[in-house]
Structure 1
Amino acid sequence: MLSTGAPFDWASVDVAVPRPSGRLPGISMAGFSHRAPAPADIAMVAHPSVTLLFDLGEGEGIVYDTHGRHERGSVVVGLVPGDLRATGRGVDECLQIRLDPVAAAAVLGASAELSGTMVSLEDVWGRDAGRAEDRLRAAASWDERFTIAGEILGRRLGARPPVDPEVAHVWRRTLTGRGRVRVDGLADEVGWSRKRLWSRFRSQLGITPKRAARLVRFDHAAHLLAAGHAAAGVATESGYVDQSHLHREVKAFAGLTPTAVAVAPWLAIDDVAWPASSPTRSPATAGERILR
């Protein structure tokens, strides 16, 4: 659900994004600095990625809450975590890293176990989590932080065997098809039976092919809603049977109505922080500064 307090003010947030030359395949990053003295309270909307959230502030820290579970500090959010809120006070800094499920399987080595959950990064990386956090916090600029994060993630990408190429292909096709794909057809493309694809995809990425397609389709629809498109047109463009079908899927993935998703603060910054995920790309509005 959305916050019952005052609407979250993105004008109090500075946004930093890495230079294109520093990006890794399947991985995107953005840095957020929240300067307002009043508490921040924002509902997060499901996205087709596993998310690392590094808490780099010096204050009380950011608290994450989902289904009664509370975590403070740096966390890993699995695919489709359900209702998730982030709250903080004072000057907070956070590095958010989105890993597509294929990259997450290599970087975390536990993506299947993370689906639908939120855990402390230390629970996944052990002592390496604290060392990474210390390096990132000590960096003099967001550019330096992005470089450090890229080095850490790059090493982990090469340290574990990749997922099956067939699984990676099916994920890419699901993403490029915006979720409007048939599992049987994808199985035929890679020369596997439907049962084998279902099993391998689920064990390696932590989600079934059908649910992955639903999540990707929801994400596209959510961004269309946030861009101001009417629900009826979004339902048609996104491949839903009708507007009621769209309503049910948005409710299932976000716990919100399409009307509420259209004004969700979590999506309002995507054109700046995550332009590749947005159906429209617009320049930063007043109060939103892209830092380097």
Structure 2
Amino acid sequence: MGTARPAHDAATVWDIATPASPGRLPGVSMAGFRARTTDLVDLSVVPFSAVTVAVNLGEGPLVVEDSSGRPQDGGVVVGLAPSGLRGHGRDIECLQVRLSPVVAHAVLGASSELGGTVVSLDDLWGREAERTRERLRAARAWDERFAIAQAALARRHEAGRAVDREVAFVWKCMVGNRGGVRVERLAAEVGWSRKRLWSRFRSQIGLNPKRAARLVRFDHAAHRLAAGHSPTVVAAELGYADQSHLHRDVRAFAGVTPTAVSAAPWLAVDDVAWAAPEYLSAER
């Protein structure tokens, strides 16, 4: 059965449910969230190297806004490395799914739209989005909800169009090396020119290869900072030139300092909700 555990952060207390075992689709992680407070929850979101689908299962709105301030509710898809993303609502209950961008390309029927944007799931799945959302809301237990979501994702993946094998290989190398890769070398390994790799990767993943590799490394850095490691240690571990280099990357992706990232409420629950994230697995 799915497990539910409380996780504390600076903003609220969450009940978090996770599947008892990995789903049948690699590169996908999911968790259920229920706020144990009636107060307004307003959180800024630290970017990570996955595409996110968030489905509101509560009675009230769960609003997700990007840097433009445009609100989305219901079912929301957040692409890679969004800028200024915030989520807010009361009595929150939602299902969150994180997908490797390699899987997201087929599951969501989208590609370049997934680079830093926030779109409605209805725009990508049409009426199937509302039908799936209704089934999820009608389910009485998280185990049932996870099964419904996994089945829907598997159907979409089977019917969707896979990324190029070369693109999947490059992403796998990026994840396996925590972003510490040279794009030119990867292009040579798959037998493509740098220009072709840049174009195909950008059109299917949503970011160009260099920025994608930086995002993977930043994701690891953010979690190391949140775990209490100093910026100096994190910079050395992950191959940044120096602490200033790490500081610039954190600013570029999160818009705040490494110290602020280390205390980010959104990261405080990650060790519970995403203890072994499939989206960061190098196996595809």
TM-score by length of 1: 0.89
Counterpart AA for 2:243? Q
In the alignment, which of 5, 10, 26 is matched to residue 7 of structure 1? 10
**Residue 188 of structure 1, CA deviation:** 1.6
Q: Which position in structure 1 is the counterpart of 2:6? A: none
The 2-side partners of 1:54 and 1:120 are apart by 10
RMSD of aligned Cα (Å): 1.4
Deviations 1:217-243 (A, max 9, x none): 000000000000001111111111111
**SS of alignment partner, residue 211 of structure 1:** helix
Secondary structure, counterpart of 1:170 in structure 2 = helix
Q: Which amino acid aligns with 1:118?
A: V
Q: 1:21 to 1:70 in 2, by over 3 A?
A: closer
State how far apart, in whole Å, the 2-side matches of 1:255 and 1:114 are.
20
Q: Is the 8 A contact 2:187 2:194 kept in 1?
A: yes
Partner of 1:75: 76
1:61 paired residue number: 61
Encode CA deviations 1:190-248: one digit per residue, 9 max, x unaligned: 11111111111111111111010000000000000000000111111111111111001
Shift of 1:136: 0.4
Look up the match of 1:258.
Answer: 258
Once the two structures are TM-superposed, the CA of residue 31 in structure 1 deviates from its matched residue by 0.5
**Which stretches in structure 2 are left out of the alignment for 5+ residues?**
1-8, 279-284
Task: Answer yes or no: is 1:220 the counterpart of 2:223.
Answer: no
Contact 1:16 1:32 in 2 (8 A): yes
* Aligned-partner Cα distance in 2 for 1:276–1:198: 30
**Cα contact 2:29–2:277 (8 A) shared by 1:** no
Q: Distance in 2 between matches of 1:242 and 1:215?
A: 17
SS at match of 1:42: strand
2:122–2:129: 8 Å Cα contact kept in structure 1? yes
1:170 aligns with 2:176: no
Q: Is the 8 A contact 1:78 1:111 kept in 2?
A: no
Contact 2:17 2:142 in 1 (8 A): yes
Q: Give the partner amino acid of 1:26.
A: G
Q: Which whole-Å deviations, capped at 9, do the CAs of 1:22-77 have from their partners, x for residues lacking one? A: 3520111000011201111111110111100000001x221111122111222110
Per-residue Cα deviation, 1:259-281 (whole angstroms, up to 9, x for no partner): 00000011111111111259xxx
Q: Distance in 1 between matches of 2:248 and 2:92?
A: 35
Aligned residue runs from structure 1 range 1-292, under 5 A: 7-9=10-12, 12-58=13-59, 60-67=60-67, 68-89=69-90, 91-277=91-277
> What residue number does 2:5 align with?
none
Percent pairwise identity: 61
Query: What SS does the corresponding residue of 1:79 show, helix, strand or coil?
Result: coil
Gaps of 5+ in 1: 1-5, 279-292
| Residue 238 to residue 76, structure 1, CA distance change in 2 (3 Å) | same
Paired with 1:132 and 1:87, the residues of 2 have a C-alpha distance of 23
Q: Stretches of 4+ moved more than 4 A in 1?
A: none
Query: Does the residue aligned with 2:159 lie in a helix, a strand or coil?
Result: coil
Aligned partners of 2:132 and 2:242: how far apart in 1?
46
8 Å CA contact 1:270–1:277 kept in 2: the answer is no
Say which SS state the counterpart of residue 261 (structure 1) adopts: helix
CA contact (8 A) 2:109 2:161 kept: no
Shift of the 21–258 alpha-carbon distance from structure 1 to 2, 3 Å rule, reads closer
Q: Distance in 2 between matches of 1:158 and 1:72?
A: 27
Distance (whole Å) between structure 1 residues aligned to residue 139 and residue 180 of structure 2? 42
